[in-house]
Structure 1
Amino acid sequence: MTFFCSVVLISCSEEQGNWTAVQQEGEYIYGVWHSTTLKRAEQVMQEVFENIRGASTLPTESLMAEDDGETNISPEFLLPSDGDILDWVQSRLPSTYEGKSLYRDRAESPDLLYAYGFQRQAEVEYQTPRFGSKPLILLEIFDMDTPENAFGIYNFHIYPQVKFEWVGSKAILSGGYLRFSKGKYFIQIEGYEFATGIREAMVLLAKNIAARIKAPASTPRMLTLLPNNKMSGSVKLFRSNWVLRQTYNTLPANVPQMSDTALGVSARYRDNPDLKNWMEAQIVFIIRFPDPSAAESAYTIYRDSVMEAALPLEVGATGPILVNESLAP
């Protein structure tokens, strides 16, 4: 298939720039943000189009492989007990949050967790006599309802060049935190101080929990629709435009609007061999709607908003919307 310019702002002949490309195919809207050249944007669009056309039908209920043996218990039952991790013991009784009560007694915002489908949380602090028997590690386990949600909020915290640790599942170590997801659970472990013994205990806690959770080591099938050669640590999964804006703060003013049942994935790609800042890398996204009519409606609204907001434009019969966006100051 050869793409033609359906809506081209600035004109197709202007090769260099900050290109956005958006197209609809069936129940999908897909596209590119921040491509440095029109040619690269069109190449990526062609690849995603072929991936979508070539993919088998994905189930609407879940985009991850199901397993009847998956762990499905309240998160408090996954907390390691005294003696499970060397001489580390719980410094207080575990506490739980459920529904809209999350973090009601602290300044931390729960909005991101709610956006990813939070259901229930259990937490406890750990201490050891080797470090003065004072609380030094906070362990939180979140039931996120589905593996996609847990994967999504875990990947929200990932970025290129982040350090990974294998704990029975892929975990990230960043700052004073260790985070990972497995099954429908998202685990966050915070070390209050920087010390080798504390960091080692955090990893052991993570391994203990990962071993308790029975779930296949799988990722959302929808990610297979993205082009290969993604930048390591750049994959994202999002369920709303609010989360999308929290993930990327340099998006164009006009982006496709997601419905409550839509699901999106994205990743960054190095489209410029001289790129030094990964935050300037090209973003490729795919949004899946419940059916083609919902995708078509969202695409039409997006197209109309782009046409109203920008001049000049050219209109053709078929192909993606192509916009040479203004560069951020």
Structure 2
Amino acid sequence: MRIDAAQRGKGLILIFILGLSVLSPAFGRAGVQEASTFTSPLLAILPASDVWRASEPPRQFLPETLFEYINGAAESYISYDFQELIVAQYEKKDVPSATLTLEVYDLGEPRNAFGIYGSERYPESRFIPVGAQGYYEDGSLNFLAGRYYVKMMGYDCGPDAEKLLTAVALDVAGRIQDNVGFPAELAAFPREGLVANSERFILRNFQGLAFLRNGFQAGYRLDGLEFECFIVESKDEAAAEAAARQYLDHFRAAGSAVEAKADGWEFQDRYMKNVFVGRRGRYLYGVSRIPEGRQDTGRAYLGKLRSGLGGPQGSAATGGER
């Protein structure tokens, strides 16, 4: 059967129209789901707007495929128990050359999301009130909200880039149900001398030690001194006691002379300088990088940490060396 030119033209027009319906679905939830070849609760987080439209269907990446999207950084995300990533691409309706890439990372738990977020922010970043916290920098806006870490990159958005991205970020943050704040453990860090936004959470291999998990740390500057405080959470008191024993044994094996004190232990390390350690309940905590001659500061901050974790000032953390 022969197909004349008119029929071919109609067929091409029909294919073109169908293609547009797939590549440019409505920005909102329904259009995205219709265009997708997968199902995911993260699709409900994608925003709705009169300003943007989807330029292609969203894509899904799981732990086994994440390297296909962020090859160099995939290991860092997976180390925080990464669950799923949705990537959505948009173009501005009135200026199609202005585009937006939206990435929603599901880390399974809020503290894991804080962990990867904290590893990518800088204390000097310009922070904005989106979700638990966000920051904007050169056409990019990243924020933390519950178990999700959301990253946005705008291209050719002009002088209104921050305003445009912030509007989308607020929409996405408003769709996240478990939009909790920072981990509660951060409140235990002493306020005096704390470097704002230096707090971090390391899920595995805290301080490079395979037996330490769930570690929090924060940087301090005080009277020309720079040092760190840390808190390591265990599942219960017995596990914390075992972690403390293993921690001290590790440094003894490395040549450190561990000295037992009424409120914990003290020792010197080649890299962490003077270190002060205590245990309270299911927490191991400490102060590190204290130079010689400033030990009183280390002891004072060990007491502040103990108080922040609920222990009375001056009480014994564990009752001596093990």
Q: TM-score, normalised by structure 1?
A: 0.62
Matching residue within 117, 120, 137 for 1:157: 120
- Where 1:91 maps in the other structure, the secondary structure is strand
Contact 2:234 2:240 in 1 (8 A): yes
Q: Residue 87 of structure 2 corresponds to which residue in structure 1?
A: 123
Matched, 1:90 2:51: no
Partner of 1:195: 158
Partner of 1:299: 244
In structure 2, relative to structure 1, the CA distance for the partners of 1:258 and 1:227 (3 Å cut) is farther
Larger Rg: 2
- Consecutive unaligned residues of structure 1, counting only runs of 5 or more, are 1-72, 246-254, 276-280
* Helix, strand or coil at the partner of 1:112: helix
Deviation beyond 4 Å, 4+ runs, structure 1:
314-318
Residue 179 of structure 1: which of 121, 125, 142 is its match?
Answer: 142
Contact preservation (8 Å) 1:180, 1:188 = yes
Q: For residues 219 and 107 of structure 1, what CA distance do their matches in structure 2 show?
A: 28
Q: How much has 1:174 moved relative to structure 2?
A: 3.2
Tell me the CA shift for residue 325 of structure 1. 3.2
Secondary structure (helix, strand or coil) at the match of 1:99 reads: coil
Higher relative contact order structure (alpha carbons within 8 Å, sequence separation ≥ 6): 1
Partner of 2:234: 289
2:191 counterpart SS class:
coil
Larger helix proportion of the pair: 2
- 2:63 pairs with 88, 99, 102, which one? 99
Work out the CA distance in 1 between the residues paired with 2:159 and 2:46.
Answer: 22
**Alignment match, 2:303:** none
Compared CA separation, residues 115 and 308, structure 1 to 2 (3 A)? same
State the number of aligned residues.
232
**8 Å CA contact 1:154, 1:186 repeated in 2:** yes
Q: Is the 8 A contact 2:132 2:182 kept in 1?
A: no
Report what 1:74 is aligned to. Answer: 41
Aligned to 1:266: 217
State the match for 2:199 in structure 1: 235
The 2-side partners of 1:257 and 1:170 are apart by 30
SS state of the match for residue 57, structure 2?
coil
Partners of 1:286 and 1:236 lie apart in 2 by 10
- For 2:87 and 2:148, locate their aligned partners in 1 and report how far apart those are by CA, in whole Å: 13
Q: Which runs of 5+ in 2 are unaligned?
A: 1-39, 274-288, 290-322
CA distance in 1 between partners of 2:124 and 2:255 (Å): 37
Query: Which residue does the alignment assign to 1:137?
Result: 100
* TM-score for the superposition, normalised by structure 2: 0.63
Give the C-alpha shift of residue 126 in structure 1.
1.6
